[in-house]
Structure 1
């Protein structure tokens, strides 16, 4: 007599649900605190259209202890050093030459360069150039050089 083969059982034992993973609860907001702003993208071109002053950094965002800033440049800045921080330059429009004592770095739109901390540099723009900078909050634009071109970053609305 042939052996019959019954289909394998398709029932399984019930299992307990996996424990939920949750983020720590945010602290309660006091009634006097304003509600957080609605999340929104930052349009770099729109921010750049809000001002015309050259060599004046405008803060457009904050990232932890860093500021994201935009500026318009034309001409030569001052030779300076940031002893305690790197400085990121990203060209949005135009061309930027970052003079270094070892040679120049030339940037076009969409290109970036990080000046390492302690490296003396001098930005030069032969045409009006729009840039985005990332550096720690409170970093002076002229670093250790000081002088009449020193300006704190201003916030743009």
Structure 2
């Protein structure tokens, strides 16, 4: 991370540094949690996190979070917390930009064997 703790982190500038979808980038840490930005498009895999809730905050675009019993629709400035253990699948018909907050080391698929490599920018 190139930003010093005394400087604001420009999320738009961070998002402009990559184009891959479903590959979160850590932009800061906070009390043992990674604050990440990610570009998403299409369907992610159904998964759950046994040890933590899953927070999604939409910065740009629209996101659906499909749950077993319902679908939550989010637009810019809206967030949703998936409870720990709940199976879910994020879906974006068009590219969307998200902010995620997770305990450091949480695999994005819920399974370390299939998770994206955590990158810091």
Bin of the TM-score, shorter chain as denominator length: over 0.9
- Corresponding residue for 1:123? 90
- Cα displacement (A) at 1:144: 3.5
Normalising by the residue count of structure 1, what TM-score does the alignment of the two structures yield?
0.72
Displacement of 1:87: 1.1
- 2:31 matches 1:64: yes
Give the CA deviation at 1:145: 8.3
Q: Which runs of 5+ in 2 are unaligned?
A: none
Scaled by the length of structure 2, the TM-score of the pair is 0.93
Kindly state the Cα deviation for residue 152 of structure 1 after the two structures are TM-superposed. Answer: 2.3
User: Which residue does 2:110 correspond to in 1?
Assistant: 143
Instruction: From the two aligned structures, give the one with the greater strand fraction.
Output: 2
C-alpha separation between the residues in 2 aligned to 1:76 and 1:38? 35
Matched residue pairs, number? 118
Pick the aligned partner of 1:99 from 66, 75, 87. 66
Gaps of 5+ in 1: 1-36
1:44 pairs, out of 3, 6, 11, with 11
If asked which structure has higher relative contact order (CA below 8 Å, sep 6+), I would say 2
Counterpart contact for 1:80–1:122, Cα < 8 Å: yes
Superposition map of 1:1-12 within 5 A: none
